[in-house]
Amino acid sequence: MVYSGPMGNHHDRPASATPAACGSTWGYTTRAVQSAIPRGLGQSIGLPVHTAAAFQFGNLEEAQEEFAGGGGLSYARMQNPTVAMLEERLSSLEGAAHTLALSSGQAATFTALMSVCRAGDHIVSAATLFGGSAGLLQNVLPLMGIETTFTDGSPEAMRAALRPNTRVLWAEMISNPSGDVADVAALAEVAHAAGALLAIDNTVGGAGYLARPLEHGADMSVQSLTKWAGGHGSAMGGSVSVSGSADLSRNPIFTEGAERSLLNLHGAGALAQRQRWLGASQLGMTLAPHSAFLLGQGLETVGVRLDRECATAQALAEWLSGHPRVSAVSYCGLPGHPSHERAQRYLLRGKGAILTFDVPDPSRFLGRLQLLRIAPNLGDTRTLVVHPWTTTHGRVPEASRRAAGVGPQTIRMTVGLEDLADLQADIEQAL
């Protein structure tokens, strides 16, 4: 029994699948609202929530086929129709062959890295990372015998750090909070020449609306769906999208076992297979269906939200740059930013919704805010600020904090949907 789509087996009449045009000719926002929803009599117009823990078989043979690796519905730890719809939508938006949705961005990062590494293997990473990713690389993967070399993220530095056992390169598409943009095409070349893969954290790339690393040669695009994809600060989730063209032929995980090797059994789908087996089936970092619904619904408006948020972020960055009480404004949409040129090359639309700036007295500034809220999330509909030096980056070594563009006076802001004039007025009075 091959699982024919999220609603494929819920009607006598086969639902016509999502239109074929979906992956190819339609624009981003059309795909965001239309993908993963079958057409046909009785089909729901939005994403349905399926809460069953298990799914039925018609006879023993169907059950046996599924347990032998059918890839269909059996038990909700492995696959659930609502989660599958979210995955189909994410694949459409990221230009991916397969997507695995999991319970958090952390779960997705861990699964992406562990899917191609085992004890004795090596990872090369950019140093300016989201704190949770740095924690996995520094503190968790070493428990499993996997070592990471941190670099400045440039193709030259990453090439110099390669070892014969390097399996994957890791970098953020747009780093948080410094706004460095990864040179994905050059990093892909470095990785592939060494028989390794390139995995990019595309969280700030907003579900493929601002950036699509797979189109530039990355093998995996990971995101925290908690941020822009969900977009309302209402659910946790994460995803790994894969290109379907990763060269796995130089990684023993995929080649060992002769004719029973993962590569022989699953071909181009071997990476996606291993990720679902590891992250969902074995580790159980399964996304809850209600969260999948919230995140999938969030995706319907991610483009519209990011248009507004990026425009407001750009306007605030320019305004703050000329403000007498503000210094060191950092936003890759500003001409002076080190990644400005790369942002023009890789970012499809706006330059992201995160900016940082230094104020004379962060504690006083944050204490006086009346509209902006102090909270650590990103990509919310509401504008949120933090003092990274003492909170999100508080445990990062001082040199790394400074390298990430975080100083003692730095405020990080993730821009929401409020009116620009209201945000400016609140910041002005707080300054």
Ligand X SMILES: *Cc1c(COP(=O)(O)O)cnc(C)c1O
139 burial level (CB within 10 Å; 0-12, 13-18, 19+):
exposed
Tokens 């006086």 found at: 368
Cβ closest to ligand X, residue 48 vs residue 131: 131
Cα-Cα-Cα-Cα dihedral sign, residues 113, 117, 118, 119: negative
The single residue among 99, 176, 273, 312 that binds ligand X, judged by CB under 6 A, is 176
Please pick, from the candidates 76, 86, 207, 378, the single residue that binds ligand X as defined by CB under 6 A: 378
Of 129, 160, 210, which is closest to residue 379 (Cα–Cα)?
210
Does 380 bind ligand X (CB under 6 A)? Our answer is: no
Does residue 179 touch ligand X according to CB under 6 A?
A: no
How big, in percent rounded to 5, are the helix, strand and coil portions of the chain? 40, 15, 45
**Nearest Cα residue to 204 out of 237, 236, 181:** 181
> Smaller CB distance to ligand X: residue 204 or 248?
204
- Smallest distance from the beta carbon of 75 to ligand X, in angstroms? 24
Give whichever of 188 and 225 is closer to ligand X, judged by the CB atom: 225
- Give the binding range for ligand X (CB under 6 A) out of 59-67, 128-136, 266-274, 354-362: 128-136
What's the closest the beta carbon of residue 18 comes to ligand X, in angstroms?
26
238 scored as a contact of ligand X (CB under 6 A): yes
Q: How far apart are CA 161 and CA 150, in angstroms?
A: 8
* CA neighbor of 184 nearest in space, from 208, 152, 214, 158: 214
Give the integer Cα–Cα distance in Å for 345 and 338: 13
Determine if 236 is a binding residue for ligand X (CB under 6 A).
Answer: yes
Q: Give the separation between CA 226 and CA 220, rounded to whole angstroms.
A: 18
133 versus 251: smaller Cβ distance to ligand X: 133
Contact yes or no for 305/228 (Cβ under 8 A): yes
Torsion of CA 229, 231, 232, 235, to 10 degrees: 20
133 binds ligand X (CB under 6 A): yes
Nearer to ligand X by Cβ, of 73 and 107: the residue is 107
Site string for ligand X, 77-106 (x = CB under 6 A): ---------------------------xxx
**Contact flag: residue 291 with ligand X (CB under 6 A):** no
Q: Report the residue number whose CB is nearest to ligand X.
A: 105
DSSP 54: B
User: Does 203 help bind ligand X (rule: CB under 6 A)?
Assistant: yes
The residue among 46 and 376 lying less far from ligand X, judged by its C-beta, is 376
Shortest CB 378 distance to ligand X, Å: 5
Q: Could you tell me if 326 and 313 are in contact, meaning their C-beta atoms sit under 8 angstroms apart?
A: no
Indicate the residue among 38 and 206 with the shorter CB distance to ligand X. 206
User: Rule CB under 6 A: is residue 405 a binding residue for ligand X?
Assistant: no
125 touches ligand X (CB under 6 A): no
Sites of contact with ligand X (CB under 6 A): 104-106, 109, 130, 132-133, 172, 176, 201, 203, 224, 226-227, 236, 238, 378
